[in-house]
Chain A
């Protein structure tokens, strides 16, 4: 075999890069609309009374969460998989027509799924379970899409040249297995149309589990959809892209083993922390609380491993906006994996549960960690996939600071809002009566809801800058060949 670098095929990676950008904007735009609706309820009828059913908060809310999780994040995970997979396994997609076919089928069915999901959620077709709102026909479609990805994943591993699986591959495998298990069991339901000999809506179903059991299964899923969608595959990305971009070797192999297996074992137990003081058995609540604290270890293991990878090379953080994105992402990972366990302590949870503090926690994790890492990955991939330099370094810097400011406004306002509301709910006067009516605890939040909406809007502005920078990079930036590249990503002005 002649001695030249392998030509990787990025056809599928490109498709998922486009969908990451488009669905990211859609999901975050809907989120910004929701934020303004909470600050100024008149926004609910912004398109008039006639369309209020489709623009009000309650219809858009599942659309926001699902667009960000199953649109933006999943697209990002797959865009990076179809790039990283080939490179660390030292095999090109082009070598196997079957894998190429699977990849194209994967993307096409995924797009069909996206359209079905957006349509059905706007019509109010939902099971009500968070991040599992889809009715059974869409669930079946999602399982098929997932299995096709799995075949592609293990297919590529099957024809690999590099025998040892790099750390990132461990995490992609775990993402595939974890989500498959959780998604299937949580969505088990009986279609009522078939069980009643053809009465009513054909797509309607009723959950296999009732009441408390349903809640246990849902939060076993809900919490770990976060684990295997927002943590595991994002760690896969940073283990590949940070060393590649910085030219530094991963700090510790042992630490990566410890945190991988630790995360796999511990994460699932922590789901119970969503159900503290509910009617699920006490021992399960306690396990949820305790394992949430234990979870700090493997989470911080990965985050510290990443930060120490930069040892001796910290000047890169100042020089390269791309490294900045990744370092801020790992810092937010450190921060939100400490905040989560704090909220899972029973006495803290008594205050925090049901308040905006939880919403704040989700968003510092997703905006600060997940989205920053996905955008950094796309920035690293673009010159290698499109063979053009990044269009503008200064736009990257601008985007970085606007979005960082947006995240900070978001989580600080939600901390204050959540703790304020939690304290007001429980306040009693000197005679032991409740000190505030419920509406008092709503009106007091108006300034914080406004600040949050501003923060979210800033983040969305950053997304548009990102999209513009990527668009120019793909279409009109200066050409560059991968052989000219050192480690760091080539940048324009």
Chain B
């Protein structure tokens, strides 16, 4: 039987492909039938947060930091409630990471503040003695890409029906709406308004001045993103 197969490359290749594809069909398809259902309290990202998420990805923060709290006492003690599937409903791509050279960041917004991040990104070992994290000083001068963040928001709203501009249930029973501007200039205006709230808690004079002039440096965006991780 196998000798026959080994003389017929076409059927051989078909047999190999079916054998390889089998596991994927069984494992992946069923889960795709069920869309990810967001948990109560999970919101889509605002324009500035999403731009910050892009800064996080651009610098491969996920190479050293996970965003996945496993259901063990040691992890819930350290990082907070264990992760639930629905909390990731708006994460494209997922950023669970595979290595914890630094701590998990799934709920970093609960216990770190804007000025902590600011000092830490400038000089990690100055804030956490012994830290081996490199400094990210270029984030204080590079500008965040608001355009691309806005383009991604439009894309996920249109293609994946991400609920922007719709009331979403929060944990305290209230409703919240994440607004999506209807023009690029509107998106810039709302990102800038959000950036001003972040910058109010920062010390760097350059960054403050840039935001006053209508520019948003990467550091402001990534802090807005990390503050949103709860």
Contacts and interface: CB of A to CB of B under 8 A. Distances in A.
B54 to A, nearest CB: 8
Given A61-B63, A62-B63, A358-B98, A127 B150 contact: no
B116 interface: no
A173 B24 CA distance: 19
Contact of A41 (B6, B63, B98, B134): B134
A272 B27 CA distance: 9
Contact of B98 (A124, A173, A213, A274): A274
Contacts, number: 248
Nearest to A44: B134
Contacts of B145: 200-201
A206 B155 contact: yes
A181 interface: yes
A209 B89 CA distance: 10
Interface stretch (A51-59, A103-111, A312-320, A383-391): A51-59
A48 to B, nearest CB: 12
Interface stretch (B78-86, B194-202, B205-213, B222-230): B78-86
B61 interface: yes
A216 to B, nearest CB: 6
Nearest to B131: A439
Interface in B74-100: 74-75, 77-78, 83-85, 87-100
Nearest to B146: A200
Interface string A256-267: 010001001101
Q: Indicate the size class of the contact surface on chain B.
A: 35 or more
A190 interface: yes
A195 B162 CA distance: 14
Interface stretch (A2-10, A137-145, A157-165, A234-242): A157-165
B24 A220 contact: yes
Contact of B128 (A37, A210, A212, A439): A439
Nearest to B59: A58
- Among B90, B132, B137, the most chain A Cβ lie within 10 Å of the Cβ of B132
A199 B151 contact: yes
Interface of B: 2-3, 6-7, 9, 12-13, 16-17, 19-24, 27-28, 31-32, 36, 57-64, 66, 68, 70-75, 77-78, 83-85, 87-103, 125, 128-138, 145, 147-152, 154-156, 158-160, 184
Interface residues of A, number: 91
Please name the 6 residue pairs, one residue from A and one from B, whose CB atoms are nearest each other, closest first. Answer: A211-B88, A200-B148, A200-B151, A124-B58, A268-B23, A44-B134
B74 A428 contact: yes
23 contacts: A38-B101, A44-B134, A52-B138, A58-B64, A128-B93, A177-B13, A181-B17, A192-B154, A196-B155, A207-B93, A210-B92, A210-B94, A212-B88, A212-B94, A214-B93, A217-B28, A264-B19, A265-B23, A279-B84, A354-B99, A355-B99, A426-B74, A443-B130
Contacts of A291: 23
Given A128-B93, A199-B184, A278 B134 contact: no
A278 B137 contact: no
A204 B31 contact: no
- Among B66, B87, B90, B94, the most chain A Cβ lie within 10 Å of the Cβ of B94
A434 interface: yes
B150 A196 contact: yes
Given A206-B152, A425-B74, A211 B36 contact: yes
A157 B63 CA distance: 41
A201 to B, nearest CB: 5
Contacts of B87: 211
B134 A277 contact: no
B82 to A, nearest CB: 9
Contacts of B23: 265, 268-269, 291
A220 B128 CA distance: 37
A206 B70 CA distance: 26
A354 B100 contact: yes
A165 B12 CA distance: 10
Nearest to B27: A284
B24 A213 contact: no
A178 B22 CA distance: 12
Nearest to A163: B7
Contact of B154 (A199, A212, A220): A199
Contact of A214 (B16, B63, B91, B97): B91
Contact of B63 (A57, A204, A350): A57
Contact of A56 (B6, B20, B134): B134
Contacts of A52: 134-135, 137-138
Contact of A350 (B7, B70, B89, B155): B70
A210 B17 contact: no
B60 A126 contact: yes
- Among B22, B64, B85, B90, the most chain A Cβ lie within 10 Å of the Cβ of B85
Contacts of B90: 210-211
Contacts of A279: 68, 83-85, 88
Nearest to B77: A434
Contacts of A29: none
B102 to A, nearest CB: 8
A195 B28 contact: no
Given A52-B134, A265-B22, A434-B77, A257 B83 contact: no
B171 to A, nearest CB: 18
